[in-house]
Copies of this chain bind each other. A is one copy, B any other.
Amino acid sequence: MKIALDAMGGDFGPPNLVAGAVMALRDYKQISKLYLVGDSAKVENELRKHQCNDSRIEIVHSTQVVDMSDRAWTAVRRKKDSSISRAVDLIKRGDAEAVVSAGHTGAAVAASTIKLRTLPGIDRPGIAAVLPTETNVFVLIDAGANIDARPEHLLQYAFMGTVYSRHVLHYKNPTVGLVSLGDEDVKGTELTKEVFKMLRPSSLNFVGNIEGRHLFENPVEVVVCDGFVGNVILKTCESIAVAMFQWLKHELMRTRMRQVGAFLAKNAIGTIKDKTNYEEYGGSPLLGVNGICIIAHGASTPLAVKNALRVAAESIEQQVNPHIVEEIRRYHETTAPLEPALS
């Protein structure tokens, strides 16, 4: 497997990215080639720190970086030699099978969309983030790729999320919920009301509108929303989990008795902590582009980078794209005579 890592993006730049790459190469023998794309002097410097001279590494020099304050589409058009653009070029040329970026999410989405194009039947890609509850694991799509979503985009997300849930998470008939303000059909924005009308007659296992509270109380397997809302949900969930464990830790340290209790119960707390730790998930696939692009956290630790590379390797194995194309083709075949607006 050949993977390209944008070695410049992310809040912490080359140090965390290269450290994560070194960890991944140690653990994942299935990676046969790892392109580290970025300023070669900086990348080499980091590799030296880790005394790493793994022959599977190939440094691809690039002179530019998309800054977090850049506008995504403009940056991809103007900064031709940015690390993210060069990394995506490697897929386009067939040198790499997947790209991983912890940099500017919008730029990774724009570069993938412009260079790789979207899959047939897909208008805009969406980020599929996987989140755990006590009783299941769900796909949140879109977690932040597309903030100007139109109804058909959300419909496509529902299909892509279902394919992902079925083929990667192994749910046979995943339930799909649309994020809105209440269970009732009439609740929501113009956008969600339109999407509701399109999802109801579809072949998907659509359960209707869901509220934020249903994410954890009565979880569904696929949660559909626009990228702004999805990003807010994702970031809120992650930070609450972190904050609550922090808080719990401080409370547990306040008396000797609590400390003993914490020691005896530490496995219970650890189980949940690991399961809710975003670093373990590493990265989320950008579904809908004609290639594999994994979006990692901006604040990725080396462990998170390593796991994002694992997600990339798994995505190469799983190959969900043909299934997405097939599912969307079938939808258009069955609904072509009955356009949603006329049904």
Q: Inside 8 A of A216's CB, which chain B residues have their CB?
A: 236, 239-240, 242-243
Q: Nearest chain-B residue to A297 (Cβ)?
A: B213
A19 within 8 A of B: no
User: Which of A144, A184, A236, A241 is most buried by chain B, counting CB atoms within 10 A of its CB?
Assistant: A236
A77 within 8 A of B: no
Q: Inside 8 A of A225's CB, which chain B residues have their CB?
A: 232
A175 within 8 A of B: no
A340 within 8 A of B: no
Near B by CB (< 8 A), chain A positions 54-85 give 68-71
What per-residue 1/0 map shows which CB atoms of A226-247 lie under 8 Å from chain B? Answer: 0111011111111111111011
Would A240 and B243 be within 8 Å (CB), given that A264-B258, A265-B258 are in contact?
Answer: no
A201 within 8 A of B: no
Of A40-48, A114-122, A266-274, A328-336, the one contacting chain B is A266-274
Q: Inside 8 A of A246's CB, which chain B residues have their CB?
A: 134
* Residue pair B241, A268 in contact (C-beta under 8 Å): no
Near B by CB (< 8 A), chain A positions 243-285 give 243-244, 246-248, 250-252, 254-255, 257-258, 260-269, 271-272, 276
Q: Inside 8 A of A168's CB, which chain B residues have their CB?
A: none
CA distance A243 to B133 in the complex (A): 8
A215 within 8 A of B: yes
Out of B185, B212, B244, B267, name the residue touching A69 (CB < 8 Å).
Answer: B185
* Residue pair B261, A239 in contact (C-beta under 8 Å): no
A31 within 8 A of B: no
* Residue pair A232, B212 in contact (C-beta under 8 Å): yes
What are the nearest 6 A-B pairs in CB distance? Answer: A261-B264, A212-B235, A261-B265, A216-B243, A212-B236, A251-B268
Q: What is A's interface to B at a CB cutoff of 8 Å?
A: 68-71, 105-106, 133-134, 144, 147-148, 179, 181-189, 211-217, 225, 227-229, 231-244, 246-248, 250-252, 254-255, 257-258, 260-269, 271-272, 276
Known A147-B188, A189-B228, A262-B265; further 7 A-B contacts with Cβ < 8 A: A147-B181, A212-B238, A217-B242, A232-B232, A240-B241, A261-B264, A265-B265
